A and B are shown apart, each in its own frame.
Chain A
Amino acid sequence: MLKKTWNPYLAGALAGILMIFSVWANGKFFGTSTTFVRVAAVIEESIGIDTSKNVHFTEKKGKYGAQALPDWQLMFVFGVLLGAFISARSSGDFKLQAVPDMWQQRFGNNPAKRGVVAFFGGGVALFGARLAGG
């Protein structure tokens, strides 16, 4: 448990077993991207944007709207954050880093440059994931 790394085949198989239990006990498959939509609705509401007229946030009984929170997936996302933190801290693997090693080798160590590309990439990735139904 305290070893820094596990065999990826073993860790993957354990994640598979975890998902079988999750589907059995709660009917829940693993996902995160829908939570970003719901949190975006919460943020929009909190800065005074009315989401009640938005078709996406209101269709299917408001499944993708702010009122769907808190739910299983939001807690799952918090859990992933917490689990990764516990795992990294307990094995001395936690490292504050603004620019990944491979990025540095190719593009230098400017955190602003990396931040802008990460921000833009995140936006495009989530838009695409939602469109594809992920």
Chain B
Amino acid sequence: MNLGYGLITGIFFGIFLQKAQVLRYDKQVGAMRFLDMTIFKFMLSSIIVSAIGIYLLKDLGLIKLSVKGTSIGAQLLGGSLFGIGWGLLGYCPGTAVGAVGEGRIDALWGILGMLCGAALYAEAYPFMKAKIISLGNYGKLTLPQILDVSHWLVIVVFALIVLAMFYLFEKKKV
């Protein structure tokens, strides 16, 4: 049952990604070079819509959120490494899989590399846990918690910032 839902959800997501052209190296590296903001348009629209829907479900008591822990060390180093790797590969893990579906053979090499990176991380994990993940570890934190405001205020302000960005993208035709 769960497996079937996973497959169907993935198929729809793959179609949306392909139709928006966000599976392409040229679009992803184009965004990093501030030449083409297609992936930001896709990603930020998706985040706004799902943030509203998911917090609505939470307020109605229909779902529980599972917030990831905040570790400054892990997210600073991990995020930087991810950025370097993403820039070199030109696909993130999910879009690499989708890009193969579109016929992009270079993404296959990226996937092989990712499997090696995953195996390497499993080996490095005890060290990372002791030395990196422990740096600035604040546990489960959310922005509304830190600011002590309603999550809807954070969502509205975030949505306004994103809309301003969209306006800028369209004005600059990127």
Contacts and interface: CB of A to CB of B under 8 A. Distances in A.
Q: Is B a genuine binding partner of A?
A: yes
Contacts of A5: 19-21
Contact of B114 (A83, A115, A126): A126
Interface in B119-174: 119-126, 128-129, 132-133, 166
Interface string A16-28: 1111111111111
Contacts of B89: 117-118, 121-122, 125
Contacts of A115: 106, 109
A12 B98 contact: no
A54 B123 contact: yes
A84 B15 contact: yes
A40 B49 CA distance: 33
Interface size class of A (residues with CB under 8 A): 35 or more
B140 to A, nearest CB: 11
A72 B49 CA distance: 23
Contacts of A83: 10-18, 98, 101
Contacts of B68: 133
B34 to A, nearest CB: 14
A9 B45 contact: yes
A74 B74 contact: no
Contact of A12 (B43, B116, B121, B128): B43
Contact of B7 (A29, A75, A120): A75
A108 interface: no
Interface string B24-66: 1110011000000011011111111110011001000011001
Q: Which of B13, B16, B85, B128 lies at the interface centre, i.e. has the most chain A CB atoms within 10 A of its CB?
A: B16
Contacts of A79: 6-14
A31 to B, nearest CB: 8
Q: Which of B3, B93, B99 lies at the interface centre, i.e. has the most chain A CB atoms within 10 A of its CB?
A: B93
A122 B110 contact: yes
Interface string B55-95: 00100001100101101001101111111111111101110
Contacts of B123: 54, 56
B25 A100 contact: yes
A37 B48 contact: no
A64 B114 contact: no
Contacts of A20: 49-50, 53-54, 57
A81 B83 CA distance: 23
B90 to A, nearest CB: 7
Interface of B: 2-26, 29-30, 38-39, 41-50, 53-54, 57, 62-63, 66, 68-69, 71, 74-75, 77-90, 92-94, 96-107, 109-126, 128-129, 132-133, 166
Given A79-B6, A121-B110, 11 more contacts: A8-B21, A28-B6, A41-B122, A54-B122, A81-B97, A84-B97, A111-B105, A114-B106, A126-B115, A128-B77, A133-B75
Q: Which 8 A-B pairs have the closest CB atoms?
A: A79-B10, A83-B14, A125-B85, A121-B88, A128-B81, A132-B78, A122-B113, A16-B49
